Structure 1
Amino acid sequence: MVVTEYATLAPLKHALNIPESDTAEDDALNRVLVSASRGIDRSTGRRFYRDDAATAKVFPVRGRTLFAPEGFLLMLDDVATTAGLVVEAGTASGGYTSVVGYEPYPLDPDPGWPVDGLLRDRMWPQGPMARVRVTAVWGWPEVPDDIEQATLLLAARLHRRKDSPEGIAGSAEWGLIRVSRTDPDVGALIAPFIRPGIA
């Protein structure tokens, strides 16, 4: 089973000063972990969990090919590992044939980062119906630490919103304050992971 949340219950309870033995709010806390994780997916334009097995996805060549200094770059969804990677070209009606002479991109990815493109020194198949079918394990190799931390911050914030239903929070010390729409710390943590053209 694929775990799609980017943080777990125990550190969230610790952040909220809830004893681990107190399980009264566990269901609600698990729901905000899911909501926070999916919110980060939407904000970054990608997902950080890894599939259990390789599956095929079809990508149009038109609109996804960039002209990079090294050649012709076909942009993909994130690929967790290049082990077992299969690349085929063709059309949905005409079938697919194996493609050779490509390199996963980036050529030398940072540790823990996925591959998100395929590079060739010649054009990918052309035409309005040209497609590339890629079979791979999709997602990230593992959830980055910054994404886990952003998930915990956002989940804690969502959990506390029950105490400020109109967007107003208050305390005896500060009085009433408006809850900001976004958390700048969450924004800073996820900024390096935002897919270009997203958000």
Structure 2
Amino acid sequence: MANEYVTLEELKAQFGIEPGDTSRDAQLDRACASASRSIDKTTGRRFWLDPAPVQRVFNPRGRIVREDDGDLFLVDDIGSTEGLVVETGSGSSWSAVTAYETSPDNALADGRPITGLRRTLSTWGTSTGRLRITARFGWPAVPDDIHEAALIQASRLFKRKDSPEGIIGSAEWGVRNLSRRDPDVWNLIEPYIIPGF
């Protein structure tokens, strides 16, 4: 598996499984992958960084915020300025744009992604065209909250085999239904959900 927010070794340690015991690796790997991808789907973003710059084309409609100091074009999370290229146009005709600033200020220095490109005291002027952005999309690094949420959720998914009907029981608490959403996981990932997603 790739781009998981928790490793097989960490999940094994959570359950006290010896590193050399590979009998449950397939189940543990599935739990790690499922937990990570469910966090992506819930938040509307991904926290792993592209290994190399990739190109994406954006329709500016609904992505431009007009502000006093210029137009802010909202982009998918960009986790590195390495190889960042911004172009306007369409089809096979593209022109490079260099007069822009990244937003929010100091995002990468603070361990957060770039989420907008601002044309200071100017507009993007792309009423019919598109923006083509080449960048390393994702987050600069996986936030600690996301890592912990993935560990909790992967543990929960791995243990789910012991409660196939969604019912768990113990001598102390009796029988009860599993909650649909783990409150600790939700508290950890909620601040990362894209507004309006």
TM-score for the superposition, normalised by structure 1: 0.93
Q: How far apart in 1 are the matches of 2:18 and 2:69?
A: 54
Q: How far apart in 1 are the matches of 2:52 and 2:148?
A: 27
For 1:149, the aligned partner's letter is E
Deviation string for 1:164-192 (max 9, x for gaps)?
11110011222101100001110111112
- Are the counterparts in 2 of residues 3 and 49 from structure 1 also a CA contact under 8 Å? no
Q: What residue number does 1:103 align with?
A: 101
Q: Relative to structure 2, which stretch is displaced further, 24-33 or 61-70?
A: 61-70
Greater than 4 Å deviation, 4+ residue runs = none
Q: How far apart in 2 are the matches of 1:153 and 1:172?
A: 23
Residue 80 of structure 1, CA deviation: 1.2
Secondary structure of residue in 1 paired with 2:23: coil
Q: Report % sequence identity.
A: 48
Deviation string for 1:14-58 (max 9, x for gaps)?
222322232210111001100000000001000011111111100
Q: How far apart in 1 are the matches of 2:68 and 2:141?
A: 29
- Are the counterparts in 2 of residues 58 and 134 from structure 1 also a CA contact under 8 Å? yes
Q: What residue number does 1:13 align with?
A: 12
- Are the counterparts in 2 of residues 90 and 125 from structure 1 also a CA contact under 8 Å? no
Q: How far apart in 2 are the matches of 1:104 and 1:82?
A: 9
Q: What residue number does 2:189 align with?
A: 190
Q: What residue number does 1:158 align with?
A: 157
Q: How far apart in 2 are the matches of 1:104 and 1:192?
A: 21
- Are the counterparts in 1 of residues 88 and 126 from structure 2 also a CA contact under 8 Å? no
Q: How far apart in 2 are the matches of 1:63 and 1:140?
A: 23
Q: What residue number does 2:44 align with?
A: 45
Residue 4 of structure 1, CA deviation: 1.0
In the alignment of these two chains, the number of paired residues is 195
Q: How far apart in 2 are the matches of 1:183 and 1:69?
A: 42
Q: Relative to structure 2, which stretch is displaced further, 2-11 or 73-82?
A: 2-11
Secondary structure of residue in 2 paired with 1:186: helix
Q: How far apart in 2 are the matches of 1:69 and 1:16?
A: 54
Unaligned runs of 5+ in 1: none
Following superposition of structure 1 onto structure 2, how do residues 70-89 of structure 1 map, counting pairs within 5 Å? 70-89=69-88
Residue 112 of structure 1, CA deviation: 1.2
For 2:161, the aligned partner's letter is K
Residue 10 of structure 1, CA deviation: 1.5
2:132 matched to 1:133?
A: yes
For 2:54, the aligned partner's letter is T
Q: What residue number does 1:25 align with?
A: 24
* Alpha-carbon RMSD: 1.5
Q: What residue number does 1:181 align with?
A: 180
Q: How far apart in 2 are the matches of 1:81 and 1:52?
A: 10
